[in-house]
Amino acid sequence: MEKAGATMHAAVLHSAGDLRYETVPTPAPREDEALVAISANGLCGSDVHFYESGRLGPFVVDRPYIPGHEAVGVIVRSSASRSASASVAVGARVAIEPGIPCRRCSYCLRGLYNLCAEVRFLSAPPENGTFAEYAAVPADFCHPVPDVLSDEEAALVEPVCVGLHACNRADIRPGAPFAIVGAGPIGLVTMLVAFACGAGPAIVLDVVGSRLQKAVELGAAHGVDAADSESAAREVVDATNGEGVPFVFDTSGSSAACALAPRLAARAGVVTIVGWPEASRFPFPIELVIERELDVRGINRYRNTFPAALELMRSRRVDVRPLISHRFAFERVLDAFEFASKNRIETIKVIVAETPKTTPSGEADAHRNE
């Protein structure tokens, strides 16, 4: 079953646009690490961004590396000596938490390990990711997957963790209305997690009608066209007795949308910024933050979320299956990247699996999730 010490197939990004399906050395797990045979990967927008432009924020592709960080697989070898790994023995199916911290700085000791300055994030160049047959991961960053979940669902626990961390940071409350700015994959999972936390009803804003429609299918009470900020803000305020909502999540990655978020918030509201606005400095209505005593909270990935996210998925209180829009076999991983790059609006989540549930065919090599 295992090919350790030997070689494996992997998707290797050499530079912008130059992704290759290659044979590379299988990684050797270090102390306290497990070797995971990858069975499925979700394709993240950041993977596509590196593929298209060779960089993202401070990270630059200056040597070949393996992308991918939404992965599930089976443990085939474990060097872990500690009790922490007892539940992740050889043979266990696990989801991989991809941000490995130093465990020794003040952030790690305080439990804020996602903010560790030395965090190794799998797939943040030059750190290798999970679009490969194997990955080596610390045993305590391998999280057991409940039987009820398929591999492709379990791969999506990573974006669910983003939504869960956003809800945790917001300290969202049961029975509280909320707004989501941006109905992309992260906006949708954040909405699903917020529902699972008891919050609602939801108002979702986007500039793409089909995304709003998807949000409504998934339970949003209102879809609001965000093309015009003035009318969008008015629509939300009108829908909430002139109050605004106590919780707003901006997942849009748009400066205009980010600046819109506080205008949707009720007094004492919490505005959680999940998406990175494309322009780094833009007019933000800080006067509303003061007048309404808002909290504006940033989030950077997640921490301590995998077990809870997997439980929410196991109990189907967060059901990510409707988010899987396309599937590719691992051998066609290059096609998956190219497809996602060319069809940004239409795709929600693309899954790349070792043993795909369906055989892709046709011109796009993609199987539309009806």
Is 102 one of the binding residues for its own copies (CB under 8 A)?
Answer: yes
- Binding segment toward its own copies, per CB under 8 A, in 15-23, 45-53, 147-155, 266-274: 266-274
Span of 16-24, 34-42, 279-287, 357-365 interacting with its own copies by CB under 8 A: 279-287
Dihedral of CA atoms 128, 130, 136, 139 in degrees, nearest 10, equals: 120
Residue identified by tokens 């697989």 is: 73
CB atoms within 10 A of CB 204: 29
Choice from 167, 189, 233, 323 touching its own copies (CB under 8 A): 167
Q: Which residues from 25-44 bind its own copies, rule CB under 8 A?
A: 32
Site string for its own copies, 109-148 (x = CB under 8 A): xxxxxxx-xx-------------------xxx--------
Bond from prior residue into 246 cis (ω within 30 degrees of 0): no
Cα gap 310→303, rounded to integer Å = 14
The piece of 16-24, 66-74, 104-112, 125-133 that touches its own copies (CB under 8 A) is 104-112
CB 196, min distance to its own copies, A = 5
Q: If binding is defined by CB under 8 A, does position 104 make contact with its own copies? A: yes
Q: Check residue 149 for interaction with its own copies (CB under 8 A).
A: no
CB of 359 to its own copies, least distance (A): 34
Alpha helices, H only, 95-143: 106-109
Contact stretch for its own copies (CB under 8 A) within 160-168, 230-238, 331-339, 355-363: 160-168
Among residues 66, 193, 205, 320, the one that binds its own copies under rule CB under 8 A:
193
Identify which range of 6-14, 61-69, 79-87, 209-217 contacts its own copies by CB under 8 A. 79-87
Residue type, 192: L
Q: How far is CA 82 from CA 31, 72, 137, in A?
A: 10, 22, 14
User: Contacting its own copies (CB under 8 A), which of 34, 135, 164, 180?
Assistant: 164
**Shortest reach from residue 247's CB to its own copies, in Å:** 12
Interactions with its own copies, residue window 215-244 (CB under 8 A): 241
The values of phi and psi at residue 216, to 5°, are -65, -40
Q: 42 has which bridge partners?
A: 70, 351
Is 196 near its own copies (CB under 8 A)? yes
Of 185 and 244, the one with the shorter C-beta distance to its own copies is 244
Among 308, 329, 334, 364, binds its own copies (CB under 8 A): 308
CB of 3 to its own copies, least distance (A): 27
Nearer to its own copies, 103 or 234 (CB): 103
Q: Shortest distance, CB of residue 133 to its own copies, whole angstroms?
A: 26
Q: Are 194 and 247 in contact, with CB atoms under 8 Å apart? A: yes
Residues belonging to the chain: 370
For residue 237, the surrounding DSSP H or E stretch is helix 229-238
Which amino acid belongs to residue 352? Answer: V
Amino acid present at 337: F
Tell me if the bond preceding 64 is cis, omega within 30° of 0.
Answer: no
Task: Return the number of the residue (12 or 124) whose C-beta is nearest its own copies.
Answer: 124
**H or E stretch at 95:** strand 93-96
Residue with tokens 């298209």, as numbered in its chain: 52
Closest distance between its own copies and the C-beta of residue 321, in Å? 18
**What token pair was written down for 368?**
């539309």
**Residue 319 near its own copies by CB under 8 A:** no
| Half-sphere exposure for 139 (CA within 13 Å, toward CB) | 22
Quote the CA–CA distance of 367 and 178 in Å, as a whole number. Answer: 33
Least distance (Å) from its own copies to the CB of residue 286? 6
Q: Please count the residues of this chain forming the interface with its own copies, following the rule CB under 8 A.
A: 79
